Amino acid sequence: MFLKLYGNYSRENELIGFELNEITKELMDENLIQQFFFMRYKDTYNHIRLRFKGNPEILYGKVLRKLNNWFDSLKENGLLTKVEIGTYEREVERYGGIQLIDYAEKVFFYDSQVVSNILYLKGIHELDMDYEQIAICSIISYLEDFNIPYMNQIELLNMVTNQSEYREGFKKKREQYTFIGNSNNNFENLRKTEEGRMLYGILKKRTSAVREYTLKIEEESKNGNLANSKLGIYLSILHLHCNRLFGINREKEKEVISYARHTLYALKFLKTKKDK
SS3 178: helix
- Dihedral of CA atoms 147, 148, 153, 155 in degrees, nearest 10, equals -160
Query: What per-residue confidence (pLDDT) applies to 276?
Result: 46
Beta bridge partners of 51: 2, 37
Integer Cα distance of 161 and 169 in angstroms: 14
Integer Cα distance of 179 and 34 in angstroms: 38
Positions of the chain with pLDDT lower than 50, given as ranges: 276
Integer Cα distance of 37 and 49 in angstroms: 8
Query: What per-residue confidence (pLDDT) applies to 268?
Result: 87
SS3 10: helix
- To the nearest whole percent, how much of the chain has pLDDT over 90? 94
Strands (E), the chain: 2-6, 35-42, 46-53, 82-86
Burial 59-93 (b: 16+ CB within 10 A, else e): beebbeeebeebbeebeeeebbeebeeeeeeeeee
